[in-house]
Amino acid sequence: MGVGEDFRSFCGNLAVTVARRSCISDRCQMITRRLNLEFWGSDSPTNHSIYAGSYGRGTATGVTSDVDMIFWLPPAIYTKYNSYLGNGQSALLQAFKNALQKTYSTTHIGADGQVVVVAFWDGITFEIVPAFEMLDSSFKYPDTNDGGTWKNTNPRPEIAEINRMDQECNGNLKNLCKMARAWKMEWGVPIGGFLIDTLAYKFIIDYAHRDKSFLYYDLVSRDFFDYLAGQSSSQNVWLSPGSNQHVVRAGLFEYKALQCKNIAIDACGYQGDKYGWTARQLWRKIYGTKYPT
């Protein structure tokens, strides 16, 4: 196989499988139905919930263990818990947890600051945010830290903009986000998934090869690592696509990006008849064992 076929296979290896998607969908519907019964008097398995995070943006890989969900509650619930004299946010999270335990009595469920975590036996974990839908389609959600506050998140325009740009770029944006996650895992890079998606989006907007085939993915890899390495280490906040929410740095990633840019330069030197085992080992050094041998 050539470099294009190898990167096509690599991206296929990173994809969430049909079986895993089906399992996640079934569990999401069960969770949604339980919460609708508790808070809306409805048994709908789909109303009042959306995927968020990398799974919602379509940038999660097949090894993802976390699925983020938002479930929004009736406005009267906000009035009730906002009137508490002390940390109504914590009380709301506990009520949310108690509701889920009626269905998942033998599954580990914990409340963690802003989310209720449902950890299943097979390693898939749902992180569910109780929220209230605002007039602009954003969400207000509880944060139990520091005595309790309300915060805002706005995933819908982020999801829409990632989807739009991915279509405009021939599917290359989401593939780049997934490849960067493989690099993060292989190299232990201190960078969050939301920042990966944000920087991949900003990189690809004006990129010369943004709509090309898998044959160009060696150059895409090299140039994206160059872009990451060129970020200012003093910058701590970026604006997300679609909503312009603040995306905060988790750690320094620039040096590891520079190291992999140099490896990618060597790998890109193997083209045509020269491409083979040596080039694949260089890409596997960057991306790990999901890249073909």
Residues 85/89/92/98 CA torsion (nearest 10 deg)? -120
Q: Based on the domain organization, do 215 and 281 belong to the same domain?
A: yes
Q: Based on the domain organization, do 147 and 173 belong to the same domain?
A: no
Q: To the nearest whole percent, how much of the chain has pLDDT over 70?
A: 100
Q: Based on the domain organization, do 132 and 88 belong to the same domain?
A: yes
Structure tokens at 225: 């690592």
Q: Do residues 39 and 77 make contact, with C-beta atoms less than 8 angstroms apart?
A: yes
Q: Do residues 122 and 182 make contact, with C-beta atoms less than 8 angstroms apart?
A: no
pLDDT confidence of residue 122 = 87
d(CA 130, CA 249): 25
Q: Based on the domain organization, do 144 and 196 belong to the same domain?
A: no
Q: Based on the domain organization, do 170 and 185 belong to the same domain?
A: yes
Report if residue 2 sits inside a domain: no
Q: Based on the domain organization, do 204 and 112 belong to the same domain?
A: no
Domain that holds residue 164: 157-287
SS3 at position 106: coil
Q: Do residues 111 and 119 make contact, with C-beta atoms less than 8 angstroms apart?
A: no
Q: Based on the domain organization, do 187 and 203 belong to the same domain?
A: yes
pLDDT (tens digit, 9 = 90+) per residue, 228-246?
999 999 999 999 999 999 9
d(CA 198, CA 231): 13
Name the band, by pLDDT with cuts 50, 70 and 90, for residue 265. very high
Q: Which residues contact 22 (CB under 8 A, 6 or more apart)?
A: none
Helix, strand, coil shares of the chain, percent, nearest 5, are 50, 15, 35
Q: Which of 153, 180, 211 is the last residue of a domain?
A: 153
CATH number of the domain that 135 lies in? 3.30.460.90
Amino acid found at 209:
H
pLDDT confidence of residue 248 = 97
Q: Based on the domain organization, do 140 and 183 belong to the same domain?
A: no
Q: Based on the domain organization, do 248 and 136 belong to the same domain?
A: no
**162 alpha-carbon distance from chain centroid:** 11
Q: Which of 100, 124, 153 is the last residue of a domain?
A: 153
Lowest mean pLDDT among 65-69, 144-148, 196-200: 144-148
Confidence check: pLDDT of 40 > 80: yes
Q: Which residues contact 202 (CB under 8 A, 6 or more apart)?
A: 238, 241
Q: Based on the domain organization, do 165 and 273 belong to the same domain?
A: yes
d(CA 201, CA 266): 25
d(CA 197, CA 21): 20
Report if residue 119 sits inside a domain: yes
Name the band, by pLDDT with cuts 50, 70 and 90, for residue 224. very high
d(CA 187, CA 31): 35
pLDDT (tens digit, 9 = 90+) per residue, 137-193?
999 999 988 888 999 999 999 999 999 999 999 999 999 999 999 999 999 999 999
Q: Based on the domain organization, do 102 and 227 belong to the same domain?
A: no
d(CA 8, CA 12): 6
Average pLDDT for 47-51: 98
Q: Which of 120, 153, 186 is the last residue of a domain?
A: 153
* Total of domains in the chain: 2
Confidence check: pLDDT of 107 > 80: no
Burial 112-133 (b: 16+ CB within 10 A, else e): eebbbbbbbeeebebbbbbbbe
Q: Which residue shows structure tokens 């097949």?
A: 62
Q: Which residue shows structure tokens 């903009």?
A: 161
